[in-house]
Amino acid sequence: PLVLHVTGARPNFPKAAPVLEALAAYPVEQLLVHTGQHYDDKMSDIFFRQLGIPKPDVNLGVGSGAHGAQTAKVMEALEELFTERRPDLVVVYGDVNSTVAAALVASKMGITFAHVEAGLRSFDMSMPEEINRLVTDRLSDLLLTTSPDAVAHLGNEGTAPEKIHLVGNPMIDTLLKNEARFDAAAARADVGIEGDYVVATLHRPGNVDDPEDVKALVAAMHAVADQAQVVIPLHPRGRARLEQAGFLDHPGMRVIDPLGYIEFMGLVRGAAAVVTDSGGVQEETTILGVPCLTLRPNTERPVTITDGTNQLVTREVLAERVREVLATGPLQQWPTPPLWDGHAGERIAKILARAVGAAEPVRA
> Which positions are annotated as active-site residues?
203
Nearer to ligand UD1, 15 or 188 (CB): 15
Each residue 51-90 as x (binds ligand UD1 by CB under 6 A) or -, in order, gives -------------x--------------------------
Out of ligand UDP, ligand UD1, none, which partner does residue 157 contact, by CB within 5 to 8 A per kind?
Answer: none
Interface with ligand UD1 in residues 36-55 (CB under 6 A): 37-40, 43
Contact yes or no for 78/84 (Cβ under 8 A): no
Helices (H), 29-127: 45-51, 67-85, 97-108
Residue 302 makes contact with ligand UDP by CB under 6 A: no
The nearer residue to ligand UDP, 112 or 286, going by C-beta atoms, is: 286
Q: Of 267-286, which residues contact ligand UDP (CB under 6 A)?
A: 278-281, 284
201 makes contact with ligand UDP (CB under 6 A): yes
Q: Which stretch binds ligand UD1 (CB under 6 A): 33-41, 214-222, 223-231, 285-293?
A: 33-41
Applying CB under 6 A, among 3, 6, 11, 233 the residue interacting with ligand UD1 is: 11
Least distance in Å: CB of 203 to ligand UDP? 6
Distances (CA, A) of 114 to 4, 40, 102, 249: 10, 27, 10, 46
Looking at the Cβ atoms of 9 and 193, the one nearer to ligand UD1 is 9
* Helix and strand totals (H; E) in the chain: 16, 13
Distance CA 165, CA 170 (A): 13
Q: Tell me which of ligand UDP, ligand UD1, none is bound by residue 347, counting a contact when its beta carbon lies within the kind-specific cut-off of 5 to 8 angstroms.
A: none
Residue with smaller CB distance to ligand UDP, 183 or 324: 183
Which listed range, 31-39, 116-124, 218-226, 305-313, lies at the site for ligand UD1 (CB under 6 A)? Answer: 31-39
Which residues, including other chains, have CB under 8 Å from residue 266's CB and lie 6 or more apart? 181, 182, 183, 184, 186, 187
Give the nearer residue to ligand UD1 in terms of CB position, either 63 or 338: 63
Among 236, 260, 289, 361, binds ligand UD1 (CB under 6 A): 236
Give the binding-site size for ligand UDP (rule: CB under 6 A): 14
Cα(50)–Cα(77) distance, rounded to whole angstroms?
28
Q: Does 37 bind ligand UDP (CB under 6 A)?
A: no
Residue 192 CA: distances (Å) to CA of 230, 254, 261, 275, 316? 12, 10, 18, 20, 29
Of 121, 133, 203, 321, the one binding ligand UD1 by CB under 6 A: 203
267 contacts 181 by C-beta, under 8 angstroms: no
Long-range contacts of 136-141 (CB under 8 A, 24+ apart): 136/92, 136/95, 136/99, 136/100, 136/103, 139/103, 139/104, 139/106, 139/107, 139/113, 140/103, 140/113, 140/114, 140/115, 141/112, 141/113, 141/114, 141/355
> Which one-letter DSSP state was computed for residue 126?
T
Contact 113, 103 (CB under 8 A): yes
- Minimum CB–partner distance for residue 336 and ligand UDP (Å): 16
CA distance 124 to 150: 15
Report the DSSP pairing between strands 89-93 and 58-59: unpaired
Of residues 117 through 176, those in contact with ligand UD1 by CB under 6 A are 128-129
Q: Does 244 bind ligand UD1 (CB under 6 A)?
A: no
Using alpha carbons only, give the angle 230, 236, 237 rounded to the nearest 5 degrees: 100
C-alpha angle 58-62-66 in degrees, rounded to nearest 5: 155
Segment near ligand UDP (CB under 6 A); pick from 145-153, 255-263, 289-297, 313-321:
255-263
Vertex 236: Cα angle to 31 and 256 (nearest 5): 110
Which of 18, 119, 233, 291 is close enough to bind ligand UDP by CB under 6 A? 233
> Quick one: 140 or 201, whose CB is closer to ligand UDP?
201
Residue numbers at the binding site for ligand UDP (CB under 6 A): 10-11, 14, 201, 233, 258-259, 261, 264, 278-281, 284
Residues forming contacts to ligand UD1 in the complex (CB under 6 A) are 9-11, 37-40, 43, 64, 95-97, 128-129, 203, 235-237
